[in-house]
């Protein structure tokens, strides 16, 4: 009898994944620089490599499954999904690949999404085309768009270039589909969402908190993300990962 109940529950999860998903809080984390802070820029937008590794080891030890947006449809079937994202495409994000390689194993496959500014690719402190190709081909990274020039999308009119051309340029570099965009400064309004829908399946803000499915028309274009900062302790990170 118990076996039949478990089998029925499994089938219900397959047939009605949104019911299961509606119960979940899905954390989407946002980082910028993974490096030691050297006194330039905003300190809170840095996370040291040591702290980042401890955070990833926490996810590994506590049964989390990192996903990229190509696997969004799987969240209802995974016990503890989590999304790890990086904005701006800084060169120091290469240290993420090193850390991922250290901690990956049979029970933990790290994955992250890099949101890059397409016209900044190859600048002195940014990832190059070759960097992006190597990261995309590693199986651990999805390379997505952070627009062409990082404007506030609520204040522009040239959406075809900022959204469409950015998508095309990144796709030419990696040879992989670009389906998601993180809005610069986290800013979006209904006009921005409507334009984003022409090119992407997902739009990400910086509204803090986990994603909770509500079946609203634009929910995939208003995805929240929670910052992981220089000052974030491991205890705070654990609460963020838990969707608190």
User: DSSP letter string over 143-205?
Assistant: EEES-SS---GGG-S-HIIIIIIHHHHHHHHHSS---EEEPGGG---HHHHHHHTTT-SEEE-
| Band of residue 184 on the pLDDT scale cut at 50, 70, 90 | very high
Joined together, the tokens standing for residue 109 give 């496959």
Burial (CB count <10 Å: 0-12, 13-18, 19+), residue 157: exposed
pLDDT at 219 over 60: yes
Question: Could you count the other beta carbons within 10 Å of the beta carbon of residue 67?
Answer: 22
pLDDT in tens, 142-159: 999 999 999 999 999 999
How confident is the model at residue 4, as a pLDDT?
Answer: 55
CA distance 205 to 236: 21
| Band of residue 23 on the pLDDT scale cut at 50, 70, 90 | confident
- In the DSSP assignment, the letter for residue 222 is S
- Where are the extended beta strands (E) located within the chain? 28-31, 33-34, 46-47, 65-67, 81-88, 112-116, 141-145, 180-182, 202-204, 226-227
Residue % of the chain over a pLDDT of 90: 89
pLDDT top residue among 6 and 189: 189
The closest of 23, 10, 2 to 210, measured between CA atoms, is 23
CA distance 175 to 165: 15
How confident is the model at residue 14, as a pLDDT?
Answer: 46
Angle separating helix axes 94-103 and 49-61, nearest 10 degrees: 40
How confident is the model at residue 153, as a pLDDT?
Answer: 98
How confident is the model at residue 18, as a pLDDT?
Answer: 43
Q: What structural domains and CATH numbers belong to the chain? A: 2-241 (3.20.20.370)
How confident is the model at residue 56, as a pLDDT?
Answer: 98
Whether the CB-CB separation of 162 and 148 falls below 8 Å is answered with yes
The closest of 23, 68, 22, 29 to 241, measured between CA atoms, is 29
Residue where the block lists tokens 């509500």: 214
Mean pLDDT computed over 45-71: 98
How confident is the model at residue 19, as a pLDDT?
Answer: 42
Residue % of the chain over a pLDDT of 70: 91
How confident is the model at residue 22, as a pLDDT?
Answer: 59
How confident is the model at residue 170, as a pLDDT?
Answer: 98
* Three-state DSSP class for residue 44: helix
pLDDT at 92 over 70: yes
Query: Is the pTM above the cut of 0.85?
Result: yes
CA distance 161 to 164: 5
Mean pLDDT computed over 39-62: 97
pLDDT at 12 over 50: no
């Amino acid at each position: 009898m118990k076996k039949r109940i478990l089998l029925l529950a499994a089938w219900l999860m397959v047939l009605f994944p949104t019911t299961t998903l509606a119960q979940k809080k899905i954390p989407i984390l946002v980082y910028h620089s993974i490096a030691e802070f050297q006194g330039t820029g905003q300190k809170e937008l840095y996370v040291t490599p040591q702290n980042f590794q401890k955070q990833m080891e926490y996810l590994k030890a506590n049964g989390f499954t990192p996903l990229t947006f190509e696997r969004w449809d799987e969240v209802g079937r995974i016990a503890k999904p989590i999304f790890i994202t990086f904005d701006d495409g800084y060169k120091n994000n290469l240290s993420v690949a090193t850390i991922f390689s250290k901690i990956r194993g049979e029970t933990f496959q790290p994955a992250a999404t890099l949101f890059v500014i397409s016209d900044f690719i190859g600048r002195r402190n940014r990832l190059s085309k070759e960097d992006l190709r190597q990261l995309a081909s590693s199986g651990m990274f999805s390379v997505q768009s952070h627009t062409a020039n990082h404007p506030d999308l609520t204040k522009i009119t040239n959406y075809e270039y900022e959204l469409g051309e950015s998508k095309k340029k990144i796709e030419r570099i990696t040879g992989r589909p670009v389906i998601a965009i993180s809005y610069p400064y986290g800013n979006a309004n209904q006009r921005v969402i409507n334009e984003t829908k022409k090119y992407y399946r997902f739009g990400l803000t910086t509204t803090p908190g986990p994603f909770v499915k509500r079946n609203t028309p634009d929910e995939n274009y208003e995805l929240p993300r929670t910052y992981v900062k220089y000052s974030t302790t491991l205890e705070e990170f654990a609460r963020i990962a838990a969707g608190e």
